[in-house]
């Protein structure tokens, strides 16, 4: 049986290849610059050489910044991030201690790994992307169809709510500790855990109905 016909290209034309490279570099710069001021970027030992290189260079120099990133930021495991992420789970967590931890501001939820490997679950603070990217295919979305109704069962439960005491000493920010998929769906619909009780009998798009299932 002969293989199916394919129009796939073995390589991109030079013009498209250059455009792809420029787009990828711009996305990378959009991550590096705002996150360079984070607590992790400024204090993690694994990024010490990168900080030194940036200190003697120019943060506004695109080419130099990308070169320093590629040369001095190693591929990492969870270990360098763990002591920083763990600060969100401490008793009486304070905003001043976790603000700008990995990105500007506070995360919109805290993702927890499934621990299917038998190891302890890992904690991943997840920050809201720019508004134009919230419904981008890069992130999880609820399937849609132009031909009819789509049944897309999704779990929106969270394992617990972690509270972060704000700097005013009078209020707190509540963050759901949940799976990545649950967190992204909540983020896309702009659902805050403090309003879950008001959604117990919710009927409407894009989810119908909503059942609160916190365990």
The token pair at 200 is 């117990």
Tens of pLDDT, residues 19-74: 999 999 998 999 999 999 999 999 999 999 999 999 998 888 999 999 999 999 99
What residue segments make up the domains of the chain, in order of their start?
14-72, 89-199
Q: pTM for the complete prediction? A: 0.79
Q: Over the stretch 135-173, which tens digit does the pLDDT of each residue have?
A: 555 555 555 666 666 666 677 788 899 999 998 877 899
What is the chain's mean pLDDT, rounded? 83
Please state, in angstroms and as integers, the Cα–Cα distance from residue 211 to each residue in 161, 201, 202, 215, following that order.
17, 7, 8, 13
- Rounded to whole angstroms, the Cα distance separating 153 from 113 reads 20
Contact 177, 159 (CB under 8 A): yes
């Amino acid at each position: 049986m002969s293989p199916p016909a394919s129009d796939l290209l073995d390589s991109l034309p030079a013009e498209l290849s250059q455009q792809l490279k420029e787009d990828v570099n711009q996305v990378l710069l959009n991550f590096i610059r705002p996150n360079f001021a984070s607590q992790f970027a400024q204090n993690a030992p694994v990024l010490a050489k990168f900080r030194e290189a940036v200190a003697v260079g120019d943060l506004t120099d695109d080419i130099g910044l990308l070169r320093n990133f590629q040369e001095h930021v190693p591929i990492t495991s969870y270990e360098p991030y763990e002591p920083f992420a763990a600060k969100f789970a401490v008793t009486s967590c304070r905003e001043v201690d976790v603000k700008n931890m990995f990105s500007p501001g506070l995360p919109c939820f805290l993702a927890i790994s499934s621990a299917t490997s038998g190891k302890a679950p890992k904690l991943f603070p997840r920050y809201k992307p720019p508004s134009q990217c919230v419904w981008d295919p890069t992130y999880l979305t609820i399937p849609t169809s132009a031909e009819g109704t789509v049944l897309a069962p999704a779990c929106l439960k969270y394992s617990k709510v972690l509270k972060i005491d704000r700097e005013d000493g009078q209020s707190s920010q509540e963050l759901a500790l949940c799976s990545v998929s649950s967190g992204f769906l909540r983020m896309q619909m702009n659902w805050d855990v403090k309003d879950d009780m008001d959604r117990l009998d919710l009927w409407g798009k894009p989810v119908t109905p909503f059942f609160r299932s916190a365990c």
